[in-house]
Structure 1
Amino acid sequence: MAPGFTTYRFRFSYQIFDVTDLIRAGQQNTIAAEVGEGWYASSLWREGRQIYGKDLGLIAQLEISFEEDIPPLIITSDANWEWSVGPMLSSEIYDGEVYDMNQERSGWNNGSNQISEPNEWSKVTALPLPTALLSSTKGPPIRQIQEVSPQKIFRSPNGKLLIDFGQNLVGKLRVNSLQKPSGHQVSFQHAEVLDKGELGTRPLRAAKCTDTIIFSGQKIQNWSPTFTFHGFRYVQVDGWTPEDEESPLEASSLTAVVLHSDMKRTGWFECSDNLVNRLHENALWSMKGNFVSIPTDCPQRDERLGWTGDIQVFCPSANFLYDTNGMLADWLVDLALEQSDDHGVPPMIVPNVQFKKVARPPQAVWGDASILVPWALYRSFGDRQVLERQYQSMKSWLDQGCARGPDGLWSESLWQHGDWLDPSAPPDDPGNGQTDGVFVADAYLVYVTHIIGQIATILHHSEDAKSYQQDFARLKRMFQEKYVTPKGRIICDTQTSLALALVFSLLETKEQIKEAGERLVRKVRFAKFRVSTGFAGTPIVTHALSMTGWHQHAYRMLLETKCPSWLYPVTMGGTTMWERWDSMLSDGSINPGKMTSFNHYALGSVVNWLHEKVGGISILEPGWRIFKVQPIPGGTITSANVRYESPYGLIECSWALGSDGKSFQMTLNIPPNSSAWVVLPDQEQDQSQSEDEPGTLYGSGQHQFSCTFASLPWPPLPLETLFKPPASKNGT
């Protein structure tokens, strides 16, 4: 999939490879390339095929340097090159690949210079160089990362042959050994789930997700499609069965090859609860499947696009799990280029495949990715350059893109996506949730104004910093006048509205914070500890409970298994995060909504709370030079371990409770040149009642801690009230 997906109107990436080991000294050498439609010319969403252009082309340059004082030899692609059609009859991102073995040309790429059927090769057409910028990609290439073997081969109720790989993943099949008569076809259709025992293709919408081999009578070895990828757990095979005499289909015949951008894994988490561990694994797999060149929303249906809102909410979690700095910084370049094309409004998808349409309306949460994604990268990796590169993009969004009303907050005439996919929203209207979209937009506007004020200070733009800080103070007052009572009641009064007000520091007094925390707890309890949030509220609702001292209610929400909850998909056998809380209904049928994915990382952003509150480590200074260690035991979890490969080295925090439930043991590794502010459970205090920050600063090295406490820092409610709710009576 080289060189990756960029906004082709403005920028083409190229990749550099060391091919020294491929050169055959003293022999003829051939430069050969295989070219496919890729993202450039495949169908993209609702926009059709070839939206960027119809001509497929190649720019190549071979550079050979010598040990002696001889100038390098440079060979470039030019009008003397030749081309021919190959065995790929079609290859599309969404639809898959059709491969005809009868069209194979032996020797075309083996360096022998003995090309078969030379009369079938034609001179290429030399096109003008593109006007778009040519730049070396900053992100890692897409690679084959791991392999998964089939777990089960079985027949559906309708007699279809199905393969279950046991894990919803993103990649492609490899056919290991197969021989069929000339003209025989074998097809492989991919999907994430089963629907009444059959392959569940309805969520794919228009995407065919099918690869087909047309045989020539020769054996095919280790074949994979080249210019496509699929999101799948199940594969339906037509034209090849276990009963075939010469080449029976067996578990060893097929392998699922996992593809994603080759980022370095940096974060790990595990605890004593296996369902929670599976939840964390599901978020990890969803991230892998949606980091294929760009951060996408989903990897399976006719979409697979870089939705800005999804990565905005998941970015802190992503930065912990993998080193995303190169890939996301490269994607932000495209965001700024697309944004400059529309009066400061970032598109909701980057690269923007809807560029031929009229000007897009600005959208909070999604547009705010222009500020919050580079801010999250800076916080995680400590690299000021990403702030410098994106600063004009941030200013452009805030100063030009946002549609303001008379009070400086968002215009109320504009519909906002708001708390997208709130579980109360109808399946066919996912933006129609409990929390008013303009409220969500206003909360984000106040928050990002505060953030850009900090960024301006870091970059020494003193006038900007002063201006944005003044704007923040004014907008916060406007927000409070519009939405908050003096006692701390929030007008919308939902889990999301209360969480936003608390986590974004939109309240003024301790009384207001206390009231909002208690009101949030009431909302959580009346929801029977089930989640009532969408894209905006889900990343922060457990943080809002923890910051107001209601840790056990956060644990109780985490450990809920009834829908909607984080563990419901786990109990239903999900191996990735779902787009909807109920992408699959409790009876095993697929949600009737047209927009239903089983691989979406956004709602998996709760893993950030697992890392920071259950595992216990969080950033205090950018790049983890100083970090906080404050694990908060709770629920039925009795131990946890979290590891993070920071820019300074490995941070590891491991804790466990004794059998009495009151003794606490913790081991901590602090890497060189960094330090940690450690707060033990017996030091945890309600910050609304104390001005002093508890804890002690420790330097690098291995540290052991222990303490005993009379009770864990949970609210004054019996444990069974939280973790063993009484059975319903009389149907109520």
Structure 2
Amino acid sequence: MIAADDDFNGAPLLRSEFALEEGHGAVTSATLNLSAQGVVEAWLNGSRVSDDLLTPGWSSYEWRLRYATYDVTKLLDATSVLGLALGNGWFRGRLGWTGRGSFYGDELGAFAQLEVTFEDGSTQVVVTDESWAAGPSPVLANDLYDGETIDARRRDDSWLRPGFASDAWTGVHALDFDTAKLAPYVGPRVSRWAALPVREITTSPSGKTLIDFGQNLVGWIRVSVKGPEGSEVSIKHAEVLEHGELGTRPLRSALATDRYILSGGDDVFEPTFTFHGFRYAEITGWPGELKPEDLTAVAIGSELERIGTFRTSDPLLNQFHENVVWGMRGNFVDVPTDCPQRDERLGWTGDIAAFAPTAAFLYNVDSFLSDWLRDLDLEQQHHDGIVGFVIPDVLKYVDRDRPTEFGPADSTAIWSDAAVWVPWTLYHAYGDTGVLNQQFGSMASHVRRVKSLLSPSGVWDGNFQFGDWLDPDAPPEHPAEAKADKGVVATACAYHSARIVAETAALLGRSAEQAEFERIAADLYEAFNREYVTDGVVKSDCTTVYALAIVFGLLSEADEVIAGNRLAELSAAAGYRISTGFAGTPFITDALTTTGHLDDAYKLLLEKECPSWLYPVTMGATTVWERWDSMLPDGTINPGEMTSFNHYALGAVADWMHRVVGGIAPLAPGYSEVLIAPQPGGGLTEAETTLEIPQGRIAVSWSVSGDRFTVEADVPAGVTGVLRLPGQDDRAIGAGHVSATASLPAPVGATR
């Protein structure tokens, strides 16, 4: 690992010129391994080695630094130049809301190993060492939160060609770096995945030039511009407008501004050492007339394969589902983040614990989340079994070993439960026990940690809990002040995790651990019912506690009936407006459905008044919001200090939509057995859902005409299934096409 002797504004260039060894015949292969402290882009003889972005991404750098591997055989010449460009990235840039950065180190560094194999079998290796040179780049400033400044007058590609020399260039030095930390990528790389044209150029009430791309996205704006040499164009990004002006307050301290100094010729700018969450941009300093074709929004994210689709007869519901998809893509930028725009963008564990089932249906996220789980395990191993609020856990540099706004650092329900819920989700989605084997130590360690935190009465009520975070009835400035008792929420989640770990141990043949976690689960079940349940009434008597108790199987049969009726009663009393936060929202529609209240679940799903899933859609949202009312009905931004317009967690209901509305659910891990069981309702007249699995495509479509319910389904070879229609016995189905009809009961109070 080498660093430039001069930091060059946090964006140094590094180069090495070398000749291929002679006498060994032709080159048969050439492989480049590449990593960095910071982010790195590589060129060989003037050609970009890859279109990957932000390499090597963000991992728990203290113990694991990923490297990328590229085939560069076709780029070699007899005399070659290997060039690297560095940026601050997550390693040295700002992280979190404290204004601080450089948590992992003060010096940017690059690691490269180019191995050339010749016809006679011999090899030549070119590595980063003290023979390299370092020099300035056109990048004058770069930060993931604040943006990038590029001076086109400093562009000169001659550094990538043999014979280059410049007095502005200096030497490099080796860094104290343990190469044992280097690990190959498990998950996908980050790349550009979409380009969006300008939808509209307008002038704000204050006279500012505003650009609308029509979609809240994550990435940057590619700019084509010609203007006087030395003049500057500035682009500030934001997700929404407020009173016709760029709504920047939710960014907090993030500047989200790119600046371009023009060369006087035809310039193209693309700031690849930053990214922004935005739909709108404010342009200042543009020379002459700004035309739509001058700007293109570039969406970036981890490379993921789309596998699941969903569509219904309701345009608002379809737009909500599309918002879920865009929110996921924008927040899956190397790690599963909470939001992509403000001074945060951290891998919050609670968000992905809630959203993982939805993500695993929409895209193949097996390797993406498996990679992230390795960092979760590493952080946990180095923190007494505690699963942090965020992974990678940069908050430990601020919060560890001292009380903060969140209390002393320790495990917390839902957030820390990601250690168990996420691998369990991946196993059921893709059918591979490998992730359970890899993560079992982490899963078990989490539940054991929680066991040590239980009070003498056997419930989890003693340390800090987020609880039902962002309950819509909580004050904007106090999002943890929810209706649901935090001990009820935490104990329910602890029971759920203990049961999962016991089942995992059974799958893996770990009989001793199976018995251990079955006992923990049994004790939690007993304590929950003793301390929190009286004749089916759960302590704090609100929607979230009933949803969790029902879905996690914490109630007797008789109590579950009472709880289901009470949940439906509370939902109706709220006018079917949402009354749950992070804890209850992923589970409330399932809890209503399984207790015989499907109509109530549909009413909740399709409600349009605030707070509801569809309210943001009626307000023009193109991603899922952090708060149910991130924007108020009058068009002003929520007054809370924490507001994002791109947060996927509350989109977790899409999992229920795929299974219950769409009708595709796994009967066995990986969908080797599939349940085809659409349950129509809510006035929907049709729906269509598909899922690509390794064996092929599962597809379900249905329509309602009067009381006639028609289902068409396709099951790929090698998959068996069960068809379950309203009012009929289950029917075994095999590969191929199946068509079936059923008669629907008349709505309550209706006549035919």
**CA-to-aligned-CA distance 1:286-309 (integer Å, 9 cap, x gap):** 000000000000000000000000
The answer to whether the Cα contact below 8 Å between 2:113 and 2:127 also exists between their aligned partners in 1 is yes
Which letter does structure 2 place at the counterpart of 1:20? T
2:69 matched residue in structure 1: 16
The answer to whether the Cα contact below 8 Å between 2:97 and 2:253 also exists between their aligned partners in 1 is no
1:465 matched residue in structure 2: 514
- Counterpart of 1:409 (choices 443, 453, 459) is 459
Distance 1:84 1:275 in 2: 53
Give the secondary-structure state (helix, strand or coil) at the position aligned to 1:643.
strand
Give the secondary-structure state (helix, strand or coil) at the position aligned to 2:682.
coil
Which letter does structure 1 place at the counterpart of 2:374? V
2:494 matched residue in structure 1: 445
2:112 equivalent to 1:60 = yes
- Counterpart of 2:88 (choices 31, 37, 57) is 37
2:112 equivalent to 1:71 = no
Q: Compared with structure 1, are the counterparts of its residues 277 and 37 closer, same or farther at alpha carbon in structure 2 (3 Å cutoff)?
A: same
1:141 matched residue in structure 2: 189
Distance 1:127 1:361 in 2: 34
**CA-to-aligned-CA distance 1:352-397 (integer Å, 9 cap, x gap):** 1122243312211101100111110111111111111111111111
Distance 2:105 2:86 in 1: 14
**CA-to-aligned-CA distance 1:98-132 (integer Å, 9 cap, x gap):** 111222233123xx3142x5222222112233366
Normalised to the residue count of structure 1, the TM-score between the two structures is 0.92
The answer to whether the Cα contact below 8 Å between 2:313 and 2:684 also exists between their aligned partners in 1 is yes
Q: Compared with structure 1, are the counterparts of its residues 12 and 643 closer, same or farther at alpha carbon in structure 2 (3 Å cutoff)?
A: same
Please give the residue correspondences for 1:67-216 in structure 2 after superposition, counting only pairs within 5 Å.
68-109=119-160, 112-115=161-164, 118-130=166-178, 133-175=181-223, 177-216=224-263
Distance 1:21 1:654 in 2: 48
Which letter does structure 1 place at the counterpart of 2:429? S
Unaligned 5+ segments in structure 2 are: 1-53, 402-408
Distance 2:488 2:188 in 1: 38
Distance 1:396 1:501 in 2: 24
**CA-to-aligned-CA distance 1:434-473 (integer Å, 9 cap, x gap):** 1011110011011111111100000100011122112212
**CA-to-aligned-CA distance 1:479-530 (integer Å, 9 cap, x gap):** 1111112x31212211101111110000012x21111111011001100010
Which letter does structure 1 place at the counterpart of 2:582? F
Please give the residue correspondences for 1:191-270 in structure 2 after superposition, counting only pairs within 5 Å.
191-221=238-268, 223-240=269-286, 244=288, 248-270=289-311
**CA-to-aligned-CA distance 1:163-184 (integer Å, 9 cap, x gap):** 0000000011111x31121221
Distance 1:647 1:37 in 2: 39
Please give the residue correspondences for 1:630-645 in structure 2 after superposition, counting only pairs within 5 Å.
630-645=677-692
- The runs of at least 4 consecutive aligned structure 1 residues that moved more than 3 Å come to 716-719
Distance 1:504 1:401 in 2: 17
Distance 1:490 1:468 in 2: 24
Distance 2:606 2:648 in 1: 19
1:728 matched residue in structure 2: none
Distance 1:401 1:62 in 2: 47
- Counterpart of 1:702 (choices 737, 740, 744) is 737
2:418 equivalent to 1:377 = no
Which letter does structure 2 place at the counterpart of 1:88? V
1:681 matched residue in structure 2: 726
The answer to whether the Cα contact below 8 Å between 1:199 and 1:236 also exists between their aligned partners in 2 is yes
- Counterpart of 1:3 (choices 56, 66, 70) is 56
Normalised to the residue count of structure 2, the TM-score between the two structures is 0.90
Q: Compared with structure 1, are the counterparts of its residues 584 and 709 closer, same or farther at alpha carbon in structure 2 (3 Å cutoff)?
A: closer
Give the secondary-structure state (helix, strand or coil) at the position aligned to 2:583.
coil
Please give the residue correspondences for 1:347-426 in structure 2 after superposition, counting only pairs within 5 Å.
347-356=388-397, 357-359=399-401, 360-402=409-451, 403-410=453-460, 412-426=461-475
The answer to whether the Cα contact below 8 Å between 1:648 and 1:672 also exists between their aligned partners in 2 is yes
Deviation of 1:533 after TM superposition, in Å, equals 0.2
Distance 1:434 1:131 in 2: 50
| Amino-acid identity (%) | 44
Deviation of 1:143 after TM superposition, in Å, equals 0.5
Distance 1:512 1:301 in 2: 44
RMSD of the TM alignment (CA)? 1.4
2:626 equivalent to 1:579 = yes
Give the secondary-structure state (helix, strand or coil) at the position aligned to 2:571.
helix
2:97 equivalent to 1:46 = yes
2:336 matched residue in structure 1: 295
1:654 matched residue in structure 2: 701
